[in-house]
Amino acid sequence: MFYRASLQATAVLASLSLLAGCGLLSDSGSKAEQKIVVGTTSEPSTLDPAAAWDNSWELMRNVFQTLVSFPTGSTRPEPDAAEWCKFTDTTSTAYRCKLRKGLKFSNGDKIDAEAVKYSMDRITAMKVKGGPVGMLGSLDRVETKGDDIVIFHLTKPDATFPFILATPAMSLVAPSDYSKHKVRSDGKVTGSGPYLLDSYKPGNRAELVKNPDYKGFANRKNDAVTIRYFKESVPVVTALRKNEIDAIYRGLTAEDVVGLEDNKDQSSNLQIVDTVGADIRFLVFNPEDPVAGNVAVRRAIAQLVDRDALVAKVYQGTAEPLYSMVPKGIAGHTTSFFDAYGDPDKDEAKQILAKAGITKPVAMTFWFTTDRYGSSTAPEFDELKRQLEASGLFRITLKSKPWKEFQEGFNKGQYPVFGRGWFPDFPDPDNFIAPFVGKESVTGLPYMKSEITERLLPQTRKESDRGAVSKQFERAQQILVNDVRLLPLWQGKLYVAAGEDIGGGERALDPQTVMQLWELYRKASW
């Protein structure tokens, strides 16, 4: 779900620093002053890490711990619940961690090696469809030595394994409160992160308070955080303008961003900060559908989609066209779809269909989620429908559902074509290829491609120098172009809007673009 290179991280920090304001900032103040309210359109789909391979991570990062993590400013995993972690053999197939002393869960249970092993084992035991089990394909078994040593034995070399351990999906959970056979669904959390989940109301809010027993790298600059969940962008922006919330993370439309940047809406008391984006949007085609399963249909759509028009009309420069599943800024990026299809061409698309014996307009249904990626998603699909129908070659019906229902649907293979977003787990091209192929694809649709899963990815995971694996990832991207099971559309920037009295924004996003809420604070002076 979240990749970011070191140069990108530097650019983000520089950009945010410029917008953070002037004067001496202080994180001192009363308890009331140091409660921060954040608004977002990205509600968790689950509170259980073993089921989470989506934006649920944004809450989990703040209430759970992982063995390694990304402290502010880092682009490589560093110890969190662990005192240290390292590969202990020459083949990079044994990764050993030693736990910090004195760690305990919020229910008082001790965090020891067995608890770590239990947390990892339940992910592979439950195999939640669409969950993070697909990230652990190289894990053979977890061994413990005493109370504080954990050894991860891998079936093959995997240079990305420390990055995987740093994702919130690998959060440590208390064995006494988490079944090994089912997802926890009581709306509660037992973790050891910087905050405790004091209360949670689905679709409404999460109340976080400081964890008094926390031992980790996070330097908490506030006393409590309320996360308010909104279904659409307009209400969350309105709440910010009315000072009902202090900041927005995920939920700004292109119009909101442009208006704030140009100060056209007279929101001079607000600041907006942006990150170089590695988040992507793409279409997923179901190979089991009688229409979408026809490669000629998929290729015709690839030939017709006008990404430039899509970005210009819907996103107003806050995104850019994407011609590969690996976005710009990530090693191994190519423009493989543009190389294969060039500019949109109705005549070429017509010939592709004709060669497959298709001479009448193709009727298809495209699905999207209403409340996961912001209010621009509906206009985006309206534009896709307009483009395809303007060719005279397609008749498109649009349907949508809230994220939880939408997610259930695509995991059951119910949709012929649907839109997805991807926020990378860690900054490496592996994370823009591996999650989408294999039996446990994050799209919910198995995508068996042995050349990628059995040859190319294993080759790249032997190489610790990630800049030396470009050729393998270029080949993988070409395979995706040939199949058109996935059609990349655009990559965007991430924006955070906040009141001018809120500090810490320049440090709040980690390399996975997950919000580190502990960095936000209310300035004592401006």
Mapping DSSP onto H, E and C, the string for 336-386 reads: HHHHHHCCCCHHHHHHHHHHCCCCCCEEEEEEEECCCCCCCHHHHHHHHHH
For residues 299 and 480, is the Cβ–Cβ distance under 8 A?
no
- CA distances for 403 relative to 43, 285, 510, angstroms: 9, 18, 24
Tell me if 394 sits within 8 A of 301, measured CB to CB.
yes
Let me know: does 225 contact 38? Beta carbons within 8 Å: yes
Q: Chunk the chain into consecutive blocks of 10 residues (it has 526) and report each block's average pLDDT, rounded to whole numbers.
A: 34 32 38 81 94 92 95 81 91 93 97 98 93 91 98 93 94 98 96 98 97 95 97 90 92 82 64 79 97 98 97 90 92 93 97 97 97 88 98 98 94 96 85 92 94 94 82 96 97 86 82 85 74
DSSP assignment, residue 104? B
Q: Cβ-count burial of 340 within 10 angstroms (0-12 exposed, 13-18 middle, 19+ buried)?
A: middle
Burial (CB count <10 Å: 0-12, 13-18, 19+), residue 516: buried
Residue 439, both tokens = 């039996």
DSSP state of 466: G
Cα separation of 187 and 394, whole Å?
Answer: 44
Specify the long-range contacts of residues 122-125, CB closer than 8 Å, at least 24 apart.
122/50, 122/173, 122/178, 122/179, 122/180, 123/49, 123/50, 123/169, 123/170, 125/180, 125/181
Of the candidates 476, 410, 485, the one whose C-alpha atom is nearest the C-alpha of residue 447 is 485
Q: Residue 162: what pLDDT?
A: 92
Between β-strands 224-229 and 205-210, what pairing exists: parallel, antiparallel or unpaired?
A: antiparallel
Q: Using CA atoms, how far apart are residues 172 and 192, in angstroms rounded to an integer?
A: 8
* SS3 readout for 398-449: EEEECHHHHHHHHHCCCCCEEEEEECCCCCCHHHHCHHHCECCCCCCCCECC
What does pTM read for this prediction? 0.74
Q: Which two tokens stand for residue 125?
A: 């035991």
Q: Which of 435, 421, 506 is nearest to 163 (CA)?
A: 435
What local confidence, expressed as pLDDT, does residue 430 receive? Answer: 93
At 144 the pLDDT is 98
Residue listed under structure tokens 């190289």: 138
Report the SS3 class of residue 246: coil
- 338 C-beta neighbours (distance < 10 Å), count: 15
- Measured distance CA(288)–CA(296) in Å, rounded: 14
The reported pLDDT for the residue numbered 504 is 85
H or E segment at 395? Answer: strand 394-401
Helix, strand and coil content of the chain, in percent to the nearest 5, comes to 30, 25, 45
Q: Which pair of tokens denotes residue 261?
A: 């940047």
**74 Ramachandran zone, left/alpha/beta (phi>0; psi -120 to 50):** beta
SS3 of 231, please?
coil
